[in-house]
Each structure stands twice: as structure tokens, then as C-alpha cells.
Amino acid sequence: MASLVKKALDKKFSRKAFIGWSAAVTATAAVPAYGLKKIDSRVAAEKLEEEGRWVSASCWHNCGGRCLNKGFVVDGIVTKQKTDDTHEDTPDYPQQRGCARGRSQRHQVFGVDRLKYPMRRKHWEPGGGNKDLRGRDEWVRLDWDEALDLVADELKRVKENYGNKSIIGASRLINHYGGALVRWGSSSSGAWGKPQQHMAANLSWGGSDRLDWRNAKLIVMWGSNPAWSNGGNPQYNLLQAKKAGAKFIFVDPFINPSIKSLDAEFIPCRPGTDAALLLALAHYMIENDLQDQDFLDRCTVGFDRDHMPEGADPDENFKDYVLGTHDGVPKTPEWASEICGTPPEKIRMFAQEIGTTKPMIFQSSFAPARTYRGQQFCQAFLTVGWMTGNVGKPGAGVFTLNYARNQSYGGKTLVMPGGRGLENPENPLFPGVTFGAYDGYRFAAPTRTDFHGMAYTETYDAILNGEYTATVRGKVPCDIRMIWKVRNGSGDNFLNQSSDIPKGIKAFRKLDSIITNDIVLSTISKYADIVLPATTEWEKEGRINTGNPEAIFIANKVTEPLFEARSEEWMEIELGKRLGIDEETLYPISEKQQFFNSLAGAQVIQDNGEDYEPLVSITQEDIDQWGVEGEAQSGRIALDELLEKGSYQVQRSPDDQLGDIKGKTYVDNPEENPLDTESGKLEIHCQILADEIEAYGFTTLAPIAKYEAPVEGYEDTFEDWESKKKGEFPFQLVTIHYPRRSHSVFDNVPQLREAFPQEFVMNKRDADERGLKDGETVLIRSRHGKVLRHLFTTETMMPGVVSLGEGAWVDIDEETGIDHAGATNMLNGSHLSGQGEEPWNTCNVTVEKYDGKPLKSDEHWDQRVIF
Ligand SMILES: Nc1nc2c(c(=O)[nH]1)N[C@H]1C(S)=C(S)[C@@H](COP(=O)(O)OP(=O)(O)OC[C@H]3O[C@@H](n4cnc5c(=O)[nH]c(N)nc54)[C@H](O)[C@@H]3O)O[C@H]1N2
Ligand SMILES: Nc1nc2c(c(=O)[nH]1)N[C@H]1C(S)=C(S)[C@@H](COP(=O)(O)OP(=O)(O)OC[C@H]3O[C@@H](n4cnc5c(=O)[nH]c(N)nc54)[C@H](O)[C@@H]3O)O[C@H]1N2
Ligand SMILES: [Mo]
């Protein structure tokens, strides 16, 4: 091992990180069958090279990118990683290369801080024990039987005494056990869900095929930073569009890395004020008659008084609102500029460009919709996009990107896995929504009265105050006793990832019990009572990972479970036995069979661009070797070859038949192909949208795009708007998705901490005015909490706007209540808005020099090692 150790140290791995690696080695050595053989230090590296083999093991975290990832495995330990080298890299058929996070996976899986054993908080007992010690208690190691008995007994106790409605959670097991309250709403996609559904019949989710982007003359990227937050090739694909002649315009408060790398035009806009800017674009276009009137007349309703949907007041048309016909306020560039901060001449230039350049792609990410009353941005964005008529044609499009499904920026799915063969049991307390539902589908329909659960941002108030808002039913009482977190996808680490951590901790400290499973002591587990150690994907039976419509990725088993980690399925089966739910009901088929089913059922598109055929060739020998049930079949690639290669990527060229122009069928003939909206058309005036948002009971919304100041928006940074006197919280904070992490995941990896410091970013002039210096420790305060961070000053951030990457692992000093990690949700308040979207990008803060001890840099922080 010595030479590996030396190599590690040479690379300046922190001592702790190294201990992590060696601890894993020792621990696996304790598992006899898979232990690392004693390797004589003199033989070292060469021998390891000889003995090792490459195993394909794609990354499973929620960054939206899906890339090829391979680990070099020596006796159950991954000693190095590599990424896609399966074919030559070309723009049409690019390699799927991993990022710094994916390539650090081995430091996560084999880290010193992997959870090793089941454990319980020392002062917890059924019903809570000393609840106040949550997050700062000692841990007691349990054996698996003890742990499972405790969890099962506590579940029983809570259910019997208080009923299923006293449990927040989502899992197969809990659904079979009577269900639980669901936290619903929208995190990722912000306010986009309902506007997409009712204005656009979901036609504007995701774009056209990536190769079609090369046909655009102009590409507008609204609140988008793919270089940081679209793993894989999206930014590379944009570069191809630029090479083919497209001009890029970005609208953002920050000259982000994507803007710089494309040498794009930058339109500054304050967070949460985008609707105002869009209205001014509309004003200029209307004044100069630049709108595509033919498209508006044929394909939309609500633009002007002659094209209103049935039953609507003709005075409520969009055009008259923009011109100020009835309210006396024309939404001019000067009017908008005071709000959004974009110079009026820039607004005119921008409007002229989008009104006259065809074909144009007009796209937005989700970030500007993750704001208070974010729907008004979505309405204004779609309306202005549609005014340009760029829908359903090559090189055109008006849409918002669903990062997870359109890693390559749109297009139809060309290759996909089969089902794993498990039916999802329904949650009796939230029918129609099962566990594992992807964010955005976990909406409570506002008109339904049969669901039990609250919006994400009302969770802590519900626990603390005993009631929540159930849309049209109004407030309903509740008595929440338990949080049951079983890994099920998005929302797993909500104490860290949802707004208002200080309130969250208060709420957690009121409950009877919090039970989690995890791979490391992430925030939700740190504040839990019983934590069960889970296997990572590298220790599981295998799965196919998706997210890129042109490729699938194989996550093979790399190593046996480390320490006493077990799969979540195993935990549920064992708990089921104790709760009287048999394995046959819970997991009728094995994890291996599930993986096999997804391979056997994988489909790939044929050259005609219409039909699909089986992807994988499987022989009877394969089936016997796997010990699974199945039938031999023929496909494009042999099973072994696919598993070895690690991915299947459909080869593309610009003249293939696999592309897709979004919305073409509708635009070519709207009368014959009506949309699934109330009017059958794209709805600029959309009454049902306004009605449904009102039914949620949080904020109101007009049926057309208007601008109303958000809570904690720009306006709220002032004590007095008229005299422009700033208030106590004069800055606007945006919480950007950051390369160091996938949300909170990877924040513990020292190598990534060193490469991507968690800095507080602010405009240099703002810093100078306050006498703050680059690199020093500053205290950032909001109405909700306080954090410390090192300051990074730059001219690339708009004055008045500041930023922190979202996802840092909150680390609170219990004496002062100050977080040292820079967790943005310490600062974000838990406001209730629209359809339950979390308004992360509308948040006011203030910044001052910190007089206490300066922070040390992040890579020197202690890892959370329990045993
Ligand atoms: N302020 C602010 N907050 C935000 C955002 C923002 O923009 N600003 N963005 C939001 C968005 S878009 C999203 S999608 C959410 C994401 O919010 P979450 O989904 O809650 O965040 P993750 O950090 O991905 O949580 C993953 C959890 O699963 C654990 N885990 C990882 N791998 C495994 C495994 O193999 N097995 C088990 N058992 N556990 C595992 C991790 O330790 C972690 O606890 O965050 C949101 N939070
Ligand atoms: N590295 C990394 N990548 C990720 C993730 C991750 O955690 N880490 N998470 C993934 C997930 S789940 C999601 S949902 C996506 C999120 O991806 P996006 O929705 O695109 O969000 P961000 O990357 O936070 O922000 C994109 C840009 O919007 C700008 N912005 C913020 N607020 C506003 C606003 O009010 N108006 C305007 N005009 N611009 C604004 C920011 O400055 C930033 O440049 O990222 C995915 N990709
Ligand atoms: Mo997300």
C-alpha cells in the first residue's frame, strides 16, 4: 500500500481523507470474503495494476447529468477512476465525460465518514427522550437486530397512538403500512408546473433536438448556467450552435461561466424582477409592431381584445395591460428599468433583436421561477416568447428546460431502460402520488380534497403549530410525531435543502422520532434519532441510469457492502417482517431480478425515428449465470458487452431521422390538432391558471402576465421605495447550483472542497463601500438566520445582488446560532407562494465584517466521523 499512500499524500490529500481511504481498506478486510489481501508494500502499485479490473459504475446523484464513470477495482477497493473512452469524441457523437464530482465518487464511497453501523442518539427513547439534544447528542452503536426492532416498535407505537397522519414520509413500506403525510409542492421547477400545464399544455417543457439548436440564428438563455448546472454535454452542444452561427444572449444577475465561455451578450436583471423586464420587451415590440401577429391570431388567445378566450373580459387582454390603457401605467423600458435594473437602451436593443431575428430559441431554466410568486415570470416568459412566433419550426422554440430529462437540451428519448418490474403501492393518504414521485408531479391538485400533507415550505409550521393549508379545504389540524426518511429520490435531505433551517431544527426538536438511512451523516441524519447505514449504488446489484435522451448508463456493482451497510430494500424487508408485511408483498422480486428486467426491457429507436426495438441480446446462458427468470432475446448489443462498456449511446448525425421539432404538429395546423388547454390554444390569458393558484390559498395571480413585487424581492430591500432609502436587508441573494456538489451530496469530499470553495460572492463596489475585503470572513444575515463565509468580490455580479452556492452542509455554532458552512437555507425564509414553490431566489440579506475568529478554509474541516 505504501506507494499508493505516498501517491495520495503527494496529491495533497488531507490526512483525514487518507484515513478515510485506509479505514475503508481495513474495514473491508474485516469482511472475510471480500477483504483486501495483504499487499506487500514493495510490490505495491504494479501488482495492483495487474490485479485490478475496470468496472462501469455510473453516478446516481441528482445533478441532471448522466455520464460514463468507471472504477478500477482492486480487491473491492476503487483505486482510480476514468470516464468515457468508448468511442472517438465528435460534436455529433460526443463522449459522455464525467465532471469533477463524478470522478471523485471513490472518495465519497470509501470516505472516512461513510456510515458504518446502525446507530441511535444516546438520549433518545421511544417518544423522543431528550429532544433538545438532536443534532448535538452522542451516538450509540447498535447491531442490526436491535436497530430494526427499535424502528419497528417506534413505527407501531406512533401509528397505534396517533395514526398514520402523524407520520411524514414516503416509502414502499409506509405505503403498505397505511401511508403517511406527503410534503408536496415544487422545488426544482419552481413555479413552472401550473403555467406549463394550463397555458401551454406542457408543450414548452424541454426543447427541440440538440442538433436543431445549430439552426438557430439567436439563442436567448434566461437565468441559465449550464456550465455549472447541466452536467455532461449541454454547454458543449451550445458551443456547436455558436460555431454554426448562433448569437447568444443571457439574462442573469451574474455574468456566469456559461456566458463567459460562449462570449455571449449579457443582459443584467435583478432576481425576481424578470416579469417586469419581459413586460418592457413586450411594450417595445408592440410599439414597433414587431410581434408575429399571424402566429398570435392563429395559435394563441388573450393577446388582444379581439382574440380573447370565451367568457373573459375583453379589457383584460395582455396588450392593453402592457400599453397601460386601463391602469394608466405603460410598461415602458424606463418603467421596468427602475425595478429590474436593466438599462432602458439595453431593453430596447434586446427587444429589437428578439422581435426581428428568426429562427430564435427562447429558453429559460427554472431558476427565475424559484422565486416568490414565480408564476408571473412564467406567464411573461411564455407570452413574450410566443409574441415572436418562434414555435414549431426548425431552429426555433419557446421553452423551459427540464434538466433531468433533457440533458442534451431536448429531443425525443432514443434509448431507454425497461421497467424494473415492481408496482408502486399507492399511499392511502395521498392517492395518485406514490413514493419516489419525481419533483413536480408531487403536486396536490388544488381542487382535490382527498390528500393529506402540506407544501414543502409549510412543513415546519405544521409541526410547530399543528395545522397546515389543504388548498380548498383551508387549514386542517395535524399532530405530527415522526419523520420517516427512506431514500426515495428528490427531497431526501430536506432539513438542509428546504427553506428555513433554523425553524426546521426547532420543528425537528419537537418530534417524537426521526428515522433515516444514509450513506454519510448528512444534515437530516445528523438531526435524527436512529440512522441506518445504506449501501451506495456501488455496493448494490446494479441499475440503469438515465437523464440523457441519447444514452443510458450502467451502474454495476463495484464492491460488496462496506462495513455493515445494507440496501434500503433489505431494510424495508426486515422491517416488514416485524410489522406483519411479508416480503412477497413488499418486494416480490430480488434486486438482481429488477436490474435484469430493466436490461431485458431496454428499447432503442430504429433508424426510421418512429419504432423501437429491444436493445440487449440475452442468451439462456446469461440467464442461468445470473440466476434470474427471463427469456433469451436478440437485440443490438450483447448483455456482457453492454455491462462492460458501461453505456449505450445512439450515434447521431444531422441528417438522421431521429430529430424532433417541438410543437410542429400544433403550429402547422392548430384547428386540427387542438392542445389540451381550456381553449385548445396557447393561452396568454389563462383563467384556470389564476383560479387554481388562488385555490392553493397562498398567493393570487392575474390571468395574464403582470408584475407584482414579490415578498423579499428588490422592493423589500428598501425601507422607503420613493426616496430609495435602503432597509436593514439591502441585498438580494441568489442561491446558485454549484459545481462542488450535487445539492448537498459530495459536500463532504475534501478534494471537492478544496477545488470549489464555498464563497460568498458580491460586487466589488458594494464590498468597497462597506469596507469589506476579498478573502475575509463576513457575517451574512437575513430575516431568518445567519451564516459566516469567506468573501469573494467580483465585477461579474450585479451591484446589489449577492450569491452563495446551494447545498453546503449546515454547521451551526450552538452558542451563537451562526452557521459556519454557508448553507443558503439558513438565510432563505419558508414563504408560502403560488403552487407551493420554494422561493429561494427571492431573499434579502445584509453583510458585515465578522469580528470573531476567521473561518479556516473548507478542505481543512473535520469530517463527520462517528465510528
Ligand atoms: N437554497 C436553495 N435550496 C435548494 C435549491 C436552491 O436552488 N436553493 N435547489 C433545490 C433543488 S432544485 C433540489 S432538486 C433539492 C434537492 O434536495 P434533496 O433531494 O433533499 O438533496 P440531496 O442533497 O440530493 O439529498 C440526497 C440525500 O440522499 C443521501 N444519499 C445519497 N446517496 C444515497 C444512497 O445511495 N442511499 C441512501 N440511503 N442515501 C443516499 C444523501 O446523503 C442526502 O442526504 O434541493 C433544493 N434546495
Ligand atoms: N453542479 C450541479 N449541477 C446541478 C445541480 C447541482 O446541485 N449541482 N442540481 C440540478 C438540479 S436538481 C436542478 S433543479 C438544476 C437547476 O438549474 P437552474 O434551474 O438552471 O438553476 P441555477 O443553476 O441555480 O441558476 C441558473 C442561473 O440563474 C440565475 N438566476 C438566479 N435567480 C435568477 C432570477 O431571479 N432571474 C434570472 N434572470 N436569473 C436568475 C443564476 O445567477 C444562474 O446563473 O441544476 C441541476 N444541476
Ligand atoms: Mo432540482
pLDDT in tens, 97-134: 999 999 999 999 999 999 999 999 999 999 999 999 99
What local confidence, expressed as pLDDT, does residue 45 receive? 65
Buried b (16+ CB within 10 A) or exposed e, 130-151: ebeebbebeeeebebeebbebb
Spatial distance between the Cα atoms of 136 and 864, rounded to a whole number of angstroms:
12
Separation of CA 549 and ligand 1 centre (Å): 23
Q: Dihedral of the CA atoms 595, 600, 601, 607 (nearest 10)?
A: 130
Grid coordinates given for 823: 448553507
Asked which of 232-236, 445-449, 854-858 is least confident by mean pLDDT, the reply is 445-449
Spatial distance between the Cα atoms of 583 and 105, rounded to a whole number of angstroms:
32
Separation of CA 188 and ligand 3 centre (Å): 3
Please name each of the domains of the chain with its CATH number.
2-109 (no CATH), 119-180+418-545+551-649 (3.40.50.740), 193-410+682-696 (3.40.228.10), 715-860 (2.40.40.20)
Nearest C-alpha to atom 15 of ligand 2 is from which residue? 229
Separation of CA 189 and ligand 3 centre (Å): 7
Residue 708 has pLDDT above 80, yes or no: yes
Nearest C-alpha to atom 4 of ligand 1 is from which residue? 497
Residue range 562-591: average pLDDT? 96
Spatial distance between the Cα atoms of 37 and 29, rounded to a whole number of angstroms:
7
What local confidence, expressed as pLDDT, does residue 66 receive? 83
Mean pLDDT of the chain: 92
What is the number of the ligand 1 atom nearest to the C-alpha of 489?
19
Nearest C-alpha to atom 8 of ligand 2 is from which residue? 742
CB 838 within 8 A of CB 803: no
What local confidence, expressed as pLDDT, does residue 13 receive? 33
Separation of CA 263 and ligand 1 centre (Å): 32
Asked which of 290-294, 446-450, 652-656, 773-777 is least confident by mean pLDDT, the reply is 446-450
Spatial distance between the Cα atoms of 640 and 55, rounded to a whole number of angstroms:
12
Per residue in 181-201, pLDDT (tens digit) is 989 888 888 999 999 999 999
Strand partners, 56: 70
For the CA of 533, the nearest ligand: 1
Separation of CA 225 and ligand 2 centre (Å): 6
What is the number of the ligand 2 atom nearest to the C-alpha of 745?
7
What is the number of the ligand 1 atom nearest to the C-alpha of 516?
38
Asked which of 231-235, 527-531, 550-554 is least confident by mean pLDDT, the reply is 231-235
Separation of CA 266 and ligand 2 centre (Å): 17
Nearest C-alpha to atom 31 of ligand 2 is from which residue? 367
Residue 21 has pLDDT above 60, yes or no: no
What local confidence, expressed as pLDDT, does residue 39 receive? 38
Separation of CA 735 and ligand 2 centre (Å): 8
* Of 20 and 565, more confident: 565
Separation of CA 498 and ligand 1 centre (Å): 9
Nearest C-alpha to atom 30 of ligand 2 is from which residue? 223
Percent of the chain past pLDDT 90, that is, above it, reads 84
Q: Ligand 1: which of 745, 826, 841 to mutate, most ligand atoms within 8 Å of CB?
A: 745
Confidence of residue 232 (pLDDT cuts 50, 70, 90): confident
Q: Which residues line the pocket of ligand 2, CB cutoff 6 A?
A: 62-64, 188, 222-225, 228-229, 231, 251-254, 256, 269, 271-272, 274, 365-368, 371, 403, 734, 736-739, 741-743, 807, 841
Separation of CA 519 and ligand 1 centre (Å): 12
Residue 467 has pLDDT above 60, yes or no: yes
For the CA of 377, the nearest ligand: 2
What local confidence, expressed as pLDDT, does residue 36 receive? 36
Grid coordinates given for 276: 417586469
Per residue in 638-673, pLDDT (tens digit) is 999 999 999 999 999 999 999 989 899 999 999 999
Q: Ligand 2: which of 737, 741, 758, 843 to mutate, most ligand atoms within 8 Å of CB?
A: 737
Would you give the distance in Å from CA 495 to the centre of its chain?
Answer: 15
What local confidence, expressed as pLDDT, does residue 492 receive? 87
Confidence of residue 207 (pLDDT cuts 50, 70, 90): confident
* Of 293 and 28, more confident: 293
What local confidence, expressed as pLDDT, does residue 542 receive? 96
What local confidence, expressed as pLDDT, does residue 205 receive? 86
Q: Ligand 2: which of 233, 365, 498, 758 to mutate, most ligand atoms within 8 Å of CB?
A: 365
Nearest C-alpha to atom 37 of ligand 2 is from which residue? 223
**SS3 sequence of 388-402:** CCCCCCCCCEEEECC
* Of 29 and 759, more confident: 759
Confidence of residue 35 (pLDDT cuts 50, 70, 90): very low
Residue 630 has pLDDT above 80, yes or no: yes
Asked which of 4-8, 97-101, 521-525, 593-597 is least confident by mean pLDDT, the reply is 4-8
Ion ligand 3 residues within 5 Å by Cβ: 188
Confidence of residue 9 (pLDDT cuts 50, 70, 90): very low
Please give the span between the terminal C-alpha atoms of the chain, in angstroms, as a whole number: 23
What is the number of the ligand 1 atom nearest to the C-alpha of 493?
20
Alpha helices in 30-89 (DSSP H): 44-51
Q: Residue written as cell 447568444?
A: 248
For the CA of 486, the nearest ligand: 1
Separation of CA 806 and ligand 2 centre (Å): 9
Residue 38 has pLDDT above 90, yes or no: no
Q: Residue written as cell 409574441?
A: 387
Per residue in 801-815, pLDDT (tens digit) is 999 999 999 999 999
**Closest residue by Cα to residue 171 from 649, 491, 595, 610:** 491
Residue 34 has pLDDT above 50, yes or no: no
**Closest residue by Cα to residue 16 from 96, 85, 114, 128:** 114
For the CA of 401, the nearest ligand: 2
Nearest C-alpha to atom 35 of ligand 1 is from which residue? 536
Per residue in 817-836, pLDDT (tens digit) is 999 999 999 999 999 999 99
Separation of CA 402 and ligand 3 centre (Å): 9
Residue 277 has pLDDT above 90, yes or no: yes
What is the number of the ligand 1 atom nearest to the C-alpha of 534?
38
Q: Residue written as cell 433489505?
A: 570
Spatial distance between the Cα atoms of 432 and 450, rounded to a whole number of angstroms:
10
The number of beta carbons lying within 10 Å of the beta carbon of residue 446 is 18
Residue range 422-447: average pLDDT? 74
Confidence of residue 441 (pLDDT cuts 50, 70, 90): low
Q: How far is CA 291 from CA 215, 296, 303, 334, 579, in A?
A: 21, 8, 10, 20, 64
**Closest residue by Cα to residue 751 from 658, 855, 860, 604:** 860
Spatial distance between the Cα atoms of 705 and 563, rounded to a whole number of angstroms:
56
Separation of CA 722 and ligand 1 centre (Å): 41
- Does pTM surpass 0.85? yes
What is the number of the ligand 2 atom nearest to the C-alpha of 364?
20
Residue range 55-62: average pLDDT? 91
Alpha helices in 288-317 (DSSP H): 293-299
Residue 428 has pLDDT above 80, yes or no: yes
Q: Ligand 1: which of 806, 810, 827, 830 to mutate, most ligand atoms within 8 Å of CB?
A: 806
What is the number of the ligand 2 atom nearest to the C-alpha of 188?
14
Q: Kind and range of the H or E element at 584? A: helix 583-586
Q: Which residues line the pocket of ligand 1, CB cutoff 6 A?
A: 62, 187-188, 370, 439, 487, 490-494, 497, 517-520, 522, 524, 534, 536-537, 568, 735, 737, 742-745, 806, 824-825, 828, 840
Q: How far is CA 117 from CA 24, 517, 616, 865, in A?
A: 13, 11, 38, 12
Q: Ligand 1: which of 59, 116, 527, 744 to mutate, most ligand atoms within 8 Å of CB?
A: 744
Residue range 765-793: average pLDDT? 98
Q: Ligand 1: which of 187, 749, 825 to mutate, most ligand atoms within 8 Å of CB?
A: 187
For the CA of 100, the nearest ligand: 2
Confidence of residue 19 (pLDDT cuts 50, 70, 90): very low
